[in-house]
Amino acid sequence: MPKNKKGKRGSNKAGKNGVKGESGASDDDLASEVLSHYSSASETASVLEEGPGTEPVDEQTAQEETEDKLKQCIDNLMDKSAKTRLAALESLRQAFSSRQLYDFLLERRLTLSDCLERSLRKGGGEEQAAAAVLCALLCVQLGGGDEGEEGFRILRPVLSSILSDASANIAARQSCATALGMCCYVSASEDAEDLVKSLSNLESVFTCSYPNREGILPTPKPGAPGLYCAALQAWALLVTLCPASHLNTLLDVHLPKLQACLECSDVHYRIAVGETIALLFELGRDIDRDFQYDDCDALCETLKGLATDGNKHRAKNDRRKQRSIFREVLHYIENEDFTEEKIRFGLEGIYIDSWMRRRIYDAFKLVLESGVRHHLQYNQLLRDIFELGPPLILDASVKASRISRFEKHLYNSAAFKARTKLRNKVRDKRADVM
């Protein structure tokens, strides 16, 4: 994939949930204050429009007070109490996922990275899992510039160490897999060393689900399918960055093994495997229009079975989701058909019109959760990745006005033309850097 991730960074707003501070306030009280301050700071325009008798909110004061609360959360990451550290991690997670904090974090990134590294090395399983999530969010906040790369270089060794440690807490390993994939994707430099190492770390986890020499799938330990799923999805995200020469090797090695994993017992892992197979086919066809997979007929038969699975032993929702996903995978492999989806946010939207685009969007959605739409609107990193351009600047009158049907038609027509033009382009050949 062309290196289009790096760009300008966003503004400094923050989010919710807090921890007990020096004043003796409870975790919930501090969380409420953080939320309240940001609500008042971000909605100043609407407050000012409420009419006479309403006292204007001092946005600068509200922002400074909120940043004080966030500073307290960062300080609490070094507290002796595990409960206090966990509360701080959760408060910062919600703040990072729901707001833009680049300016605030820029001067505190090394302190925060050191705190997260300490939690990962010395904390219990729950704390390690929470710290790993915050590592991913920190990289998304800092973006793909030197600051993001610097943070990733600090955190990658400990994330990889926990991920590869079979004795570590499985939830912590799962969070580390997701964080390693996201941090590497956001921060990967022109030097491919970090990408190769991260791919290898992730492969060492999910390949444990591969069949043995006799073709028999191993019996997974409790919690293992969730770990395999996280590692495979993080790996698939990084595969979208691979140059053609390395991608050809990955296709040869992994497609037959992943095909065998379609027979595994866990529905969520089967779905992750199916989506990864479709992504690999798409990338293979992208570098070679005549791409062929030797065992394609058998693969399609397996996919047909999964797309029509009526096994009553599976939960109804699981059966429905599996059938839907595998119908899409089958249609793509047989006919190169992909079911488009449009994600709307504010006055804008992005088209999910390929397996690669879906994997990238799903990865950010997993990390940012409900905050993904806010970041699509204001985070320059995501706007660069999804080719949205600079954030829209709308005054209060534009925000309040409704768009006419004709204006919507013009907007949709322009978006459709741009999307069609983009899809008809032949993607740039990947630089052979591996």
Are residues 295 and 257 in contact, defined by beta-carbon separation less than 8 angstroms? no
Sequence letter at residue 320: R
CA atoms of 166 and 283, how far apart (whole Å)? 32
CA atoms of 288 and 430, how far apart (whole Å)? 12
Are residues 87 and 76 in contact, defined by beta-carbon separation less than 8 angstroms? yes
CA atoms of 250 and 232, how far apart (whole Å)? 13
Number of Cβ within 10 Å of residue 88's Cβ equals 31
pTM (predicted TM-score): 0.80
Using 50, 70 and 90 to split pLDDT, how confident is the model at 31?
Answer: very low
As a dihedral over the C-alpha atoms of residue 35, residue 37, residue 41, residue 43, rounded to 10 degrees, the angle is: 50
CA atoms of 155 and 180, how far apart (whole Å)? 9
Sequence letter at residue 395: D
Q: pLDDT digits over 328-372, tens only?
A: 999 999 999 999 999 999 899 999 999 999 999 999 999 999 999
Pairing of strands 348-352, 341-345: antiparallel
What is the structure's pLDDT at 414? Answer: 60
Q: pLDDT digits over 110-169, tens only?
A: 999 999 999 999 999 999 999 999 999 999 999 988 888 888 999 999 999 999 999 999
345's CB contacts (< 8 A; 6+ apart) are 373, 374, 376, 377
CB burial string 161-177: b at 16+ within 10 A, e below: ebbeeeeebbbbbbbbb
Q: pLDDT digits over 403-423, tens only?
A: 555 555 555 556 555 555 555
Q: pLDDT digits over 227-275, tens only?
A: 999 999 999 999 999 999 899 999 999 999 999 999 999 999 999 999 9
266's CB contacts (< 8 A; 6+ apart) are 220, 225, 229
Are residues 187 and 139 in contact, defined by beta-carbon separation less than 8 angstroms? yes
DSSP 8-state symbol, 319: H
CA atoms of 368 and 348, how far apart (whole Å)? 18
Number of Cβ within 10 Å of residue 322's Cβ equals 21
Are residues 243 and 231 in contact, defined by beta-carbon separation less than 8 angstroms? no
CA atoms of 84 and 327, how far apart (whole Å)? 47
Q: Which residue has the tokens 């197979």?
A: 277
Residue 67 has pLDDT above 60, yes or no: yes
The sign of the dihedral angle between the CA atoms of 292, 298, 302, 303 is positive
Q: pLDDT digits over 292-315, tens only?
A: 999 999 999 999 999 987 665 667
Of 429 and 204, the one with more pLDDT: 204
| Average pLDDT of the segment spanning 217-230 | 95
Q: Using a pLDDT cut of 90, give the percent of the chain over it.
A: 65
CA atoms of 22 and 239, how far apart (whole Å)? 46
Sequence letter at residue 95: A
Q: What is the 3-state secondary structure (H, E, C) of 214-244?
A: CCCCCCCCCCHHHHHHHHHHHHHHHHCCCCH
CB burial string 246-273: b at 16+ within 10 A, e below: bbbebbeebbeebbbbbebebbebbbbb
Are residues 51 and 70 in contact, defined by beta-carbon separation less than 8 angstroms? no
Q: pLDDT digits over 171-180, tens only?
A: 999 999 999 9
